[in-house]
Structures are given as C-alpha cells and as structure tokens.
Structure 1
Amino acid sequence: MKDSTKKAQIKRFFECLKERPMTTKMAAEKLGIQRCNLTRYVAYLEKRNLITVVQEKPCEITSHQAKYYSTDPMYFKPETQSELFPPKTKSKVYDL
C-alpha cells in the first residue's frame, strides 16, 4: 500500500471517530477500510495521544464486547500531572 493511501485512510479514520465513538469493526463497515489496517491505525494514533477509549460495551454489529474509540477532544481525560516544584510552605515541625 502506498504511503499516501495510508495517510489518507488514517485521516478518514481520524475524522470518522470525531463524529461519534465507535469500534474498529463499525468504522471498517462505514469507511470500507480493512479492520486489520484500522487496528494498526489505532496503535499509531495511541502513540501520539490522538485517540482514546471512551467505553467498553457490546459492538453494535457483532454484539461482542469491544472498545469504543474517539478522537474528539471532549472525550479525553484531563491531564493530571503532579507538580514538579510544589509551592513552598512552612513546615509545621520546623519553623524555617
């Protein structure tokens, strides 16, 4: 497969998942892209933090338990990075 074809498929997949969360099977049916390719694209997008799992529930097509993915930013959990340098407070034990 040509590199330009892969990029076009990733872009179509990315945009499809912005519309609503869905499984790779549902996206494959909608887009006409092989599911094995979509699985690779999920890994590619996960490495770049561009996709998230919204929920796990039965797929609308297969009725098997599956992950529903989304690229819509509203579904991403907010980052909770701890403070590298917390504000200085006076110690209750040692009044410094």
Structure 2
Amino acid sequence: MSEESKIPQIKLLSECFAESPKTMYQAERETGVRIANICRFIDKMKKSGNIRKVSSGKCPISHRRAGFYTSNREYFKDDRQPSLFGDFWNGIKLKP
C-alpha cells in the first residue's frame, strides 16, 4: 500500500470516530478500511493525541468486550488522577 492511500484512510477513520464513540469493527464496517490498518492507525493517532479510548463494553458486531474510541474532543475525559503526593513530586515545598 502506497503512502498516498494511507493518508486518506487515516482521515476517513478520524472523521468516522469523530461522529460518536465506536469500536474498531464498527469503523471497519462504516469505512471499509481493514481491521489491521485500523489497529495501526489508532496506535499512531493515540501517540499524537488525536484519539482516545473513552469506554469499554460489548461490541454490537462481534458481541465481545471491546474498546470504544473517539476523535471528538468533547468525549475526551481528563484522565489525570489527583495525587496525594503531587506537590511533593513537582518540587513544591509544603508549609509545616
């Protein structure tokens, strides 16, 4: 597969996942992009921060447990857990 055909597939998947959170199999059915390519593109988009897994549940296609991904930032959750020692690790001195 040439580099020219990969770019439109990523864009197609990004638009597909922006509509609503979907599993990889749902995206495969909607876009026609093979599941192996979807896995690879999701990995690339995760590293660049363009897509996130927002929940897990039963896939309506495979009926197995699956992750639901989205590229729509409205669905992104702030996944930072408050830390008891956050100030300590950031080098801020606490008052006695």
Normalised by the shorter chain, which TM-score bucket? Answer: 0.7 to 0.9
List gaps (5 residues or longer) in structure 1: none
Q: Say how many residue pairs are matched.
A: 90
TM-score by length of 1: 0.82
Deviation at 1:79, TM superposition (A): 6.6
Bigger Rg, which one: 1
List gaps (5 residues or longer) in structure 2: none
The aligned counterpart of 1:43 is 43
Kindly provide the CA deviation profile for residues 35-67 of structure 1, in whole angstroms up to 9, marking residues without a partner as x: 010000010001111111111101011110000
The one-letter code of the counterpart of 1:68 is F
The aligned counterpart of 2:52 is 52
Task: State yes or no: 1:12 paired with 2:12.
Answer: yes
- Greater helix proportion: 2
TM-score by length of 2: 0.82
Counterparts of 2:4 and 2:14, CA distance in 1: 15
Superposition CA RMSD, Å: 1.9
Distance 1:73 1:25, change over 3 A: same
